Chains A and B, each alone.
Chain A
Amino acid sequence: MTRLAAAAAAVAGLGIAGYLTIVHYAGAEPACAIAHGCGTVQASPYAQLAGVPVALLGVLGYAAILAALASDGERARTAAAFLALGGWGFSAWLTYVEVVRLEAICTWCVASALLMTVLAGLTVVRQLSAAPSPARPG
């Protein structure tokens, strides 16, 4: 159940990051239904990390989380938790940048940050609560 919920959140995040990546490369401004800061955030220097669009990093991050969720082994669970915690930390930084430095809110980015928060929680719970591996006979 936890794994399924995490996968659903990752798919939703992949959709958001994919949309923002397409908008970035199209040179367009994201549709911003509630707030009006999507264009400001997208055009700011923070929208790129070492020349790579942050939205594209989001696509890669969500895809990697989905790949880690595909397996139920100990390593895959730890990898999913690592990726989600990293994504959550970076999302927290970007949210701070939006509110304090840019004074502009991008609803897509906030939605992605919330999804990363959910993913971080779910993957940590999954890591800690999974049934112990069956004892090897012998």
Chain B
Amino acid sequence: MSEGTLREQRRAERVARERAQAAAATRRARLLRLAGAAGLAAVAVTAAVLVSSAGDQPSAASDSSATGDAAALVRGLPERGGVLGDPDAPVTVTEYVDLQCPVCAESARTILPGLVQDYVRTGEVKLAARTLHFLGPDSVRAARVAAGAERQGRLWPFLLAFYAAQGPENSGYATDEHLRDIAAAAGVDADRALGHARSGSATGRLERANADADRLGIQSTPTFTVQRGDGPAEVVTGGLGAALDTALAR
């Protein structure tokens, strides 16, 4: 092999080596840039998730109005699909109510505090509601907006705020303005709740409440049912505390 050919071969090897080194350097730089982009994206997503989670919590301002004190009973408790408390709680208590019913409001003041403090906050019971609406048009309007509040994970604050400002039965007091005030006190987006109240979904919620009540033979409010796990719901005819203790002891 001539010296010229050898020189040419060495030069070709050097060029190939340099090209390989340049390609490796480019790959390293791109990987670094990608890792940086992924890291920045992770930070941005973490921040967004924290803000998103915070938005699920009731704001102090929304609960500080006149009716907000009523909603304070359930403050800090998780609510999903209208079910208040630990989703894994072994027993479900469902209250059948009509928002216009004075005895339901009374029950919210006398029975619910003990139930929430002693059973729901301890993770033994989760609390559901069915909004019946047989007393009159104000009941229907209120139940529809309650369905909107439920969609926002704020059914129970809405129920409690409504009871706290309950008006004379069938006096036409459940106007949009009144319901907006209740929604605001309960930390509910009033525009969206009232918008949802006109939807087929809200109608479905009311129909489900009626169907469940019919199935269990419930004809008055408030009525409680107690259900252990996926077992049958049993209508409470005596004391709620005794029914709960029986269900929890099973």
Say which one of B28-36, B90-98, B102-110, B175-183 lies at the interface with A. B28-36
Q: Name the residue on B nearest A96 (C-beta).
A: B49
Residue from A49, A82, A101, A132 within 8 A of B80 (CB atoms): A101
Q: Does A48 contact B (CB under 8 A)?
A: yes
Within 8 A of B (CB), among A33-57: 36, 39-40, 43-46, 48-50
**Chain A hits for B49, CB < 8 A:** 90, 93
Contact status B38-A43, CB under 8 Å: no
B33, B40, B52: which contacts A49 (Cβ < 8 A)? Answer: B52
Nearest A residue to B83 by beta-carbon distance?
Answer: A103
Asked if B172 is at the interface of the complex by the 8 Å CB criterion, the answer is: no
Q: In the complex the two chains form, is A93's CB within 8 Å of B52's CB? A: yes
Bound Cα distance from A39 to B55, whole angstroms: 18
Contact partner of A46 among B52, B192, B201, CB < 8 A? B52
User: Considering only CB atoms and an 8 Å cut-off, how many residues of chain A contact the other chain?
Assistant: 37
The answer, among A43, A102, A132, for a CB contact under 8 Å with B148, is A43
Do B191 and A27 touch (CB < 8 A)? yes
Interface residues of B (CB under 8 A from A): 22-23, 26-27, 30-31, 33-34, 36-38, 40-42, 44-45, 48-49, 51-52, 55-56, 80-81, 148, 151-153, 191-192, 195-196, 199, 201
A85-B37, A93-B45 are known; give 19 further A-B pairs, CB within 8 A: A27-B195, A29-B199, A29-B201, A40-B81, A43-B151, A43-B196, A45-B153, A78-B33, A78-B37, A81-B37, A82-B38, A83-B41, A89-B44, A89-B45, A93-B52, A101-B56, A101-B80, A127-B37, A132-B22
**7 shortest interchain CB distances as A-B pairs:** A89-B45, A82-B37, A43-B151, A86-B41, A85-B41, A27-B195, A132-B26
Q: List 5 A-B contacts (CB under 8 A).
A: A46-B52, A78-B34, A82-B38, A103-B80, A130-B30
